[in-house]
């Protein structure tokens, strides 16, 4: 009876009844018409195993620093092009220009972000007395374009181009990316620091 069911040949009557009786111990979803694991076309539509492993997108792993590349003898590692100015529009447009330039010259841009704005009060001494009075409130904006894989022969050329297009009032600085640069962007945790101080 079992042999008949496995081959899948249909008997007129009671076939389903027979199958359900003999295959009951396996799974209730098994049916005689389905060929699985024995046919050569088993797993014909599988593709998930060919894709690269997906990183978990849990909220916990969202803010994690990317590994800093050191670079070899002929290539620079992660470089930060930092642009600082008092005028936000200028600095944003310049950052966009630098980003587009790197795209055009096929330099890999890792990230393009903004650093937190710094506000400063300028207090000047009054002419008559020695009291300080509030003159102006200045906001300093900073944008960073992070690139990597810059070849040593091309670096001075790129610097020349960026310098020649530098707008007035924008301070340019190119540095290597460090962990400290990343930590500046994160919020301070005073409670944690307190506990750590108490522990040690």
* Residues of the shown chain interacting with another protein in the complex, contacts defined by CB under 8 A: 59-63, 71, 73-76, 79, 85, 88, 114-125, 132, 135, 137-138, 141, 152-157, 159-161, 163, 166-176, 185-192, 195-196, 198-199
Nearest residue (CB) to another protein, 35 versus 185 = 185
* Separation between Cα atoms, residue 161 and residue 146, nearest integer Å: 17
The nearest distance, CB 69 to another protein, in angstroms, is: 13
Q: How is residue 40 written in tokens?
A: 């050569």
* Separation between Cα atoms, residue 32 and residue 3, nearest integer Å: 11
Q: Is 150 exposed, middle or buried (0-12, 13-18, 19+ CB in 10 A)?
A: buried
Asked if 68 contacts 79 with a C-beta cutoff of 8 angstroms, the reply is: no
What residues have CB less than 8 Å from 138, skipping those under 6 apart? 86, 119, 120, 122
Nearest residue (CB) to another protein, 32 versus 91 = 91
The nearest distance, CB 53 to another protein, in angstroms, is: 21
Largest separation between any pair of C-alpha atoms in the chain: 114
The nearest distance, CB 110 to another protein, in angstroms, is: 16
Nearest residue (CB) to another protein, 39 versus 173 = 173
Nearest residue (CB) to another protein, 2 versus 196 = 196
The nearest distance, CB 94 to another protein, in angstroms, is: 9
């Amino acid at each position: 009876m079992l042999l008949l069911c496995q081959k899948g040949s249909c008997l007129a009557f009671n076939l389903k009844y027979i199958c359900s009786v003999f295959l009951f111990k396996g799974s209730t979803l098994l049916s005689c018409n389905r060929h699985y694991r024995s046919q050569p076309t088993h797993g014909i539509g599988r593709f998930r195993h060919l894709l690269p492993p997906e990183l978990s997108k849990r909220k916990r792993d969202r803010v994690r620093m990317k590994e800093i590349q050191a670079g070899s003898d002929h290539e620079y590692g992660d470089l930060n092009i930092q642009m600082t100015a008092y005028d936000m529009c200028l600095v944003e447009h310049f950052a966009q220009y630098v980003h587009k330039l790197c795209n055009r010259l096929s330099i890999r841009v890792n990230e393009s972000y903004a650093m937190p704005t710094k506000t400063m009060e300028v207090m000047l001494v009054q002419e008559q007395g020695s009291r300080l009075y509030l003159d102006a409130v200045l906001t300093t904006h900073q944008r960073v374009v992070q690139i990597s894989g810059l070849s040593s022969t091309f670096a001075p050329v790129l610097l020349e181009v960026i310098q020649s297009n530098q707008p007035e009032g924008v301070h340019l600085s190119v540095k290597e990316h460090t962990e400290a640069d990343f930590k500046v962007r994160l919020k301070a945790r005073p409670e944690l620091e307190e506990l750590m101080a108490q522990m040690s």
